[in-house]
Chain A
Amino acid sequence: MKRVLIVDDAATVRMYYRLILEEAGYLVVEAVNGVEAMEKSLRESFDLYIVDINMPKQDGYGFLRELRGRDELRQAPALMVSTEAADHDRKRAYAAGANLYLVKPVKPQELLVNCRLLLGEVRP
């Protein structure tokens, strides 16, 4: 089972992703901010990260930078999700270590397709 870490301070958003991803057969772990996400990432390994930007304690950028800076970790793809659609936000996310940037609200289909692709699971 592929393991996905959801990092978002909004419980509703986490639940939304969880419903979609669990239905699709993924194992979902949640973190409410960058600090918790980092703790969990050090303890266990994930196949994909879904990261919000604006969070207390440590934001999504900070978390991804720190994650990508840890050489001992396996670097799984990260999907960054935000309400900001501007290009500079996108660029900032990529620079910080995101591999894809989606704009909220993400449709279930959109989320699922991209997760599957990043996890190498869609086959013709």
Chain B
Amino acid sequence: MNPLLEQFLSETRESLQGIGEKLMQLENEPESAELMTELFRFVHTLKGNSGLFDFPELTRVLHAGEDLMDAVRDGKAAYCLPMADLLLDAMDYVGMLCDEIENDGVYAAAHAGDSVRLAETLRRMIGAPADAPGAAGAVSPSAADPGPSAEVRSLLSGIPERIRMDAYRAQTSGGLHCLVYSPVQDCFFQGDDPFFQARRTPGIVWGGIAAREAWPELAEMDAYNCVLDFHVLSEAPAEELKEYYRYVFEQLQMTTISPRCLILPQGDPNGGPVYEDFVGDALGLLRGGDIDALRRAARSMLELSSRELWFSSALRWLLLATEVEPENGVVLEAIITSLRTLAAPEWHVLAAAAGPQSPAATGVCAAKECAVQEGAVQESAAKESAAKESAVGEAGLLREETGAAIRAIVDVQREILSLPDEVAWIAGRVKAAAASLEGCLRSSGSLDALPGLRLAAESSVALLSAAPLLAWVEEYAEEMAAAPPSSPNAAPNAASNAAPNAASEAAPNATPATCQAEAPAAREPSAEAKPSPAAAAAPQPESEVKFGRRVEDVYAAAKSIKVDQVKIDRLMNLIGEMVVAKNALPYLAGRAESVFGVPEFSREIKAQYAVINRIAEEMQDSIMQVRMMPVSFVFQRFPRLVRDTSNKLGKEVNLVLEGEETEADKNIIESLGDPLVHIVRNSLDHGIESPEARIAAGKPAAGTLVIRASQEAGRVVIEIRDDGKGIDPAVIKRKAYEKGLIDEDRLERITDPEAVNLVFASGFSTAEAVSDLSGRGVGMDVVKTAIEKVNGTVHLESEKGKGTRIRISLPLSMAVTNVMIVESNRQIFGVPMDAVVETVRVPRAAIKTIKKSMATVLRGRIVPLKALNTLLGLAAQQRANEEDELAVLVVNVGDQQLGILVDDFHETVDIILKPMTGVLAGLAAYAGSALLGDGSVLMVLNVKEVL
């Protein structure tokens, strides 16, 4: 993907984000003009950007959005909820296209139809009267499709018969295209020229203009509003037409018709001979295959009838049809039958019947042509390559074009200088105009005119009046008109002619090649060598001096870089290894002293270790910092989610987001997204009551949902709090018991706070629970699993009738795990500190065996015990210390506390946990392995699985 496109996509994403946010804010303060302006700017910027690429669908939707925002800003349309919905939809659509562009470089052609519909709906909003709230809501997508055939038919019948006959005779293979171009009312101000546009339609067969609605009173008519529709019949291919009308495509209705649709007999239906016999005869002749006889019969019939009759018109068509497609019986028969009914044949009904004989006989294509659009999407790179082409140099510039451009610039300067002088910045204006003119003079090679220009500019600045310079421009413009400086040879000649007067000036021009290659170099000598007295007056550019600093400035502009995550991960792994490797130094120091007996050396190693340790830690911190992201990354989707969901449910919810700037590791933040959405949905669905219920309960009608992030002791804590109806612990208890999640015993003893946390138990929530428990807790086990996966915990508190609070606690980073090392059977194992509650020594006597399992009483609570050796299938008995006490590691497993018997406790260490790979990945008992400072491998237990 080229960098410009990449930039475009990333900026578009940011803008879409911004638009979403502004729309949300606007809902709270719909009158805020400032928000509206910002919103407008976002859409405006997006549209401007999309114009740089060849994405007409994007531009079309954004253009419509921009016009709508503009109308709202100017008070022409009122901001309302359906409008916000529509804008959000439009932005979603833009986002979707961007995703496709990012993935595939292009987007599917099928989106073109959607873009037209979206743009139309957006534009219709502009027309919605400001004081009719229902009006905007009444816009239905189906209304965007005004049944083309009737409209098209009436359009076709407006075309003179002769033209229709010619077009029919031509039998264009791709079918004909019927265009209805309805320019927007203020199109003249957008630089459109609809009449010109319509007239130059490729392949035009016929064109007509019609008033869109009845003409207004003359007094009320605004000549600057376009109220006309342009009708065009064209035989150009659809692609070409689409390309031609691409910038106003949403104002265009294009229908592909078969040439046969032009067979529309017209005229007076009354009078004339009785035709019943003729119809019978003609059908007989047709079925007999005698086309010549049919033609003769028709011709003699035509002679008998008056020209103005409908019947005559039908006969003329019949004659033409026998000439153009004599073999197509279906068509001929249809025309003949129509003589009886005096109604034009229904070609689209006949299309199926005529199909086998003529594949082109498709009649009026009901599907609008715009839905086809295949191949219309082109590589956006085209524009960029154009940029490169043109940048090749003067070779690419057409001389005539340059001449015209110079004249244009000079004209503009003349216009600028003709403006009233009474502005504070008149001197600047004059100088800038003079500088522009000087550029033109240099470009055209008319250096001899420079002194005059400078003199005029100088007196203009001195007088604070544009008049002297204006006089010069007018004189110069006349000269230029007389002898266009654009002509290839005139300018150098002029310069050479001036040579006797200003030889040094002409010198650089004598070698045009050098001038072109090194423009600034060529410019310097000519300026310095200038003998004219005006030299002092000309403000000499002071720019060339300060190069060094500026180049730096240019680079300083790049404030952030995008890095592939893989690179950061690699860095993270390396620093992890480094942290481990540096841990070898203390061992080394110890050996230096104990084994080799050089304590000085040991001290030196330790001193060096301290330094390396500090650097390594800082490095680790910095790399972690790189991976840190604010939680706002996840939070930003909630305003929209809450808004959409609560609107749908008919609830009023105030969302309060706090602590969005809190940072955590990218992986943590990303893993937070889905669980949070789940919780918020639940809260809206089942926590917060409807406004009526809330008022009945004595609460404010609008519920409040608070999502708060904060950092507490090295962890990120996310709290989701609502003031809804809370959870009834009694219901939860009963349900949990019914589902067999708790036994009778537990049912008796379980406290209310414990009970509400049962919603996280797997198997608790089923679809059935939705109705019983108002669905609170549906899929909460999924939430819990997702959070535990990143070493987080989740806890729920609820007070019936008051509300619910869910607290999620997550580590700041997943990179480093703090583990406690325990020993068993002379092997060491790691246990994550997150799980460890305490370490105790329990006398052997205090361990009782209840129902074949061990347990002990700790601070009045029974704690079940398991021996690690047994759990791991090691034969040895757990060892006790001298006082015959066993080491018990108390761990948290779910909501329960359990004791693990081990041989001994060791220190806690920070390790980089590597998950088990290969065949070892199947060992669920281990969370992974880590390297220790002495190079040995530590197996880290997955406590939950082991037990």
Q: Are B542 and A74 in contact (CB under 8 A)?
A: yes
- CB of B181 to closest CB in A, whole Å: 19
Q: Are B443 and A117 in contact (CB under 8 A)?
A: yes
In angstroms, Cα B516 to Cα A94, docked, is: 30
Q: Which of B1-49 contact A (CB under 8 A)?
A: 3-4, 7-8, 11-12, 38, 41, 44-45, 47-49
Q: Are B391 and A20 in contact (CB under 8 A)?
A: yes
Can you name the residue of chain A whose Cβ is closest to the Cβ of B522?
A123
In angstroms, Cα B866 to Cα A5, docked, is: 74
- CB of A101 to closest CB in B, whole Å: 7
Residue A13 interfacial (CB < 8 Å)? yes
Q: Are A15 and B41 in contact (CB under 8 A)?
A: no
- Contact digits for A51-93, partner B, Cβ 8 Å, 1 yes 0 no: 0001110000000011111110111111000010110000000
Q: Are B433 and A83 in contact (CB under 8 A)?
A: no
User: Which of B117-125, B329-337, B487-495 is found at the contact surface with chain A?
Assistant: B487-495
Given contacts A9-B45, A124-B492, contact A117 B554 (CB under 8 A): no
Q: Which residues of A contact B440 (CB under 8 A)?
A: 117-118, 120
Q: Which residues of B contact A12 (CB under 8 A)?
A: 4, 7-8, 11-12, 49, 52
Can you name the residue of chain B whose Cβ is closest to the Cβ of A70?
B428
In angstroms, Cα B432 to Cα A74, docked, is: 8
In angstroms, Cα B393 to Cα A122, docked, is: 10
Q: Are A108 and B391 in contact (CB under 8 A)?
A: yes
Residue B444 interfacial (CB < 8 Å)? yes
Q: Are B442 and A121 in contact (CB under 8 A)?
A: yes
In angstroms, Cα B12 to Cα A117, docked, is: 33
CB contact between B189 and one of A24, A28, A29, A86 (< 8 Å): that residue: A86
Can you name the residue of chain A whose Cβ is closest to the Cβ of B8?
A12
Q: Which residues of B contact A105 (CB under 8 A)?
A: 48, 51-52
Can you name the residue of chain A whose Cβ is closest to the Cβ of B423?
A95
Q: Are B443 and A94 in contact (CB under 8 A)?
A: no
CB contact between B391 and one of A23, A78, A103, A118 (< 8 Å): that residue: A23
Residue A42 interfacial (CB < 8 Å)? no
Q: Are B425 and A69 in contact (CB under 8 A)?
A: yes
Q: Which of B443-492 contact A (CB under 8 A)?
A: 443-445, 485-492
- Contact digits for A20-31, partner B, Cβ 8 Å, 1 yes 0 no: 100110011110
Q: Which residues of A contact B427 (CB under 8 A)?
A: 68, 71
Q: Are B413 and A13 in contact (CB under 8 A)?
A: no
Residue B173 interfacial (CB < 8 Å)? no
Q: Are A9 and B428 in contact (CB under 8 A)?
A: no
In angstroms, Cα B554 to Cα A30, docked, is: 8
In angstroms, Cα B41 to Cα A104, docked, is: 15
Given contacts A1-B520, A13-B52, A83-B44, contact A28 B445 (CB under 8 A): no
Q: Are B550 and A112 in contact (CB under 8 A)?
A: no
Residue B591 interfacial (CB < 8 Å)? no
In angstroms, Cα B399 to Cα A123, docked, is: 9
- CB of A89 to closest CB in B, whole Å: 9
Given contacts A99-B416, A118-B439, contact A78 B543 (CB under 8 A): no
User: Which of B342-350, B380-388, B603-611, B820-828 is found at the contact surface with chain A?
Assistant: B380-388
> Number of residues in A with C-beta < 8 Å to the partner?
66
Most buried by A among B11, B48, B51, B486: B48
Q: Are B425 and A97 in contact (CB under 8 A)?
A: yes
Q: Are B401 and A10 in contact (CB under 8 A)?
A: no
In angstroms, Cα B550 to Cα A3, docked, is: 9
Q: Which of A104-119 contact B (CB under 8 A)?
A: 104-105, 107-109, 112-114, 116-119
Can you name the residue of chain B whose Cβ is closest to the Cβ of A49?
B432
Q: Are A113 and B432 in contact (CB under 8 A)?
A: no
Q: Which residues of A contact B191 (CB under 8 A)?
A: 85-86, 103
CB contact between B383 and one of A44, A108, A112, A113 (< 8 Å): that residue: A108
In angstroms, Cα B425 to Cα A27, docked, is: 27
Q: Are A120 and B441 in contact (CB under 8 A)?
A: yes
In angstroms, Cα B464 to Cα A9, docked, is: 33
Q: Which residues of B contact A70 (CB under 8 A)?
A: 428
Q: Are A23 and B387 in contact (CB under 8 A)?
A: yes
Given contacts A23-B391, A105-B52, A114-B409, contact A68 B543 (CB under 8 A): no
- CB of A112 to closest CB in B, whole Å: 5
Q: How large is the interface on B (under 10, 10 to 19, 20 to 34, 35 or more residues)?
A: 35 or more
Residue A100 interfacial (CB < 8 Å)? yes
- CB of B418 to closest CB in A, whole Å: 10
Q: Which residues of A contact B488 (CB under 8 A)?
A: 124
- CB of A79 to closest CB in B, whole Å: 9
- Contact digits for B534-561, partner A, Cβ 8 Å, 1 yes 0 no: 0000010111001101110110010000
CB contact between B550 and one of A29, A71, A107 (< 8 Å): that residue: A29
Residue B390 interfacial (CB < 8 Å)? yes
Residue B438 interfacial (CB < 8 Å)? yes
CB contact between B52 and one of A9, A16, A68, A85 (< 8 Å): that residue: A16
Q: Are B428 and A123 in contact (CB under 8 A)?
A: no
In angstroms, Cα B524 to Cα A120, docked, is: 12
Q: Are A94 and B435 in contact (CB under 8 A)?
A: no
Q: Which residues of B contact A69 (CB under 8 A)?
A: 424-425, 428
Q: Are A124 and B425 in contact (CB under 8 A)?
A: no
Residue B163 interfacial (CB < 8 Å)? no
Given contacts A10-B11, A104-B51, contact A116 B443 (CB under 8 A): yes
Q: Which residues of A contact B324 (CB under 8 A)?
A: none
Given contacts A1-B520, A13-B49, contact A118 B7 (CB under 8 A): no
Q: Which residues of B contact A73 (CB under 8 A)?
A: 428
Residue B922 interfacial (CB < 8 Å)? no
- CB of A88 to closest CB in B, whole Å: 9
Q: Are A113 and B428 in contact (CB under 8 A)?
A: no
- CB of B1 to closest CB in A, whole Å: 13
Q: Which residues of B contact A94 (CB under 8 A)?
A: 412, 415-416, 419
Q: Are A122 and B443 in contact (CB under 8 A)?
A: yes
Residue B436 interfacial (CB < 8 Å)? yes
- Contact digits for B863-903, partner A, Cβ 8 Å, 1 yes 0 no: 00000000000000000000000000000000000000000
Q: Are A99 and B52 in contact (CB under 8 A)?
A: no
Residue B397 interfacial (CB < 8 Å)? yes
In angstroms, Cα B551 to Cα A29, docked, is: 9
Residue B190 interfacial (CB < 8 Å)? yes
Q: Are B550 and A85 in contact (CB under 8 A)?
A: no
Q: Are B520 and A75 in contact (CB under 8 A)?
A: no
Q: Are B48 and A104 in contact (CB under 8 A)?
A: yes
Q: Are B541 and A45 in contact (CB under 8 A)?
A: yes
Given contacts A30-B557, A99-B409, contact A19 B384 (CB under 8 A): yes
Given contacts A15-B4, A117-B409, contact A83 B551 (CB under 8 A): no
Residue B221 interfacial (CB < 8 Å)? no
In angstroms, Cα B517 to Cα A123, docked, is: 11
- Contact digits for B183-207, partner A, Cβ 8 Å, 1 yes 0 no: 0000001110000000000000000
Q: Are A124 and B489 in contact (CB under 8 A)?
A: yes
CB contact between B491 and one of A24, A103, A124 (< 8 Å): that residue: A124
Can you name the residue of chain B whose Cβ is closest to the Cβ of A16?
B52
Q: Are B416 and A56 in contact (CB under 8 A)?
A: no
CB contact between A29 and one of B401, B490, B541, B553 (< 8 Å): that residue: B553
A sample of 10 more A-B contacts (CB under 8 A), given A10-B11, A100-B412, is A16-B387, A45-B541, A54-B45, A55-B41, A69-B424, A75-B429, A95-B419, A97-B429, A99-B412, A124-B489
5 pairs of A and B residues whose beta carbons are closest in the complex = A120-B442, A68-B428, A85-B191, A75-B431, A68-B425
Query: What are 7 residue pairs bridging A and B, where the CB atoms are less than 8 Å apart in the complex?
Result: A11-B7, A67-B428, A69-B428, A75-B434, A95-B423, A99-B416, A114-B409
B residues near A, CB below 8 A? Answer: 3-4, 7-8, 11-12, 38, 41, 44-45, 47-49, 51-52, 189-191, 383-384, 386-391, 393-394, 396-397, 399, 401-402, 405-406, 408-409, 412-413, 415-416, 419, 423-425, 427-429, 431-436, 438-445, 485-492, 509, 512, 515-516, 519-520, 523, 539, 541-543, 546-547, 549-551, 553-554, 557
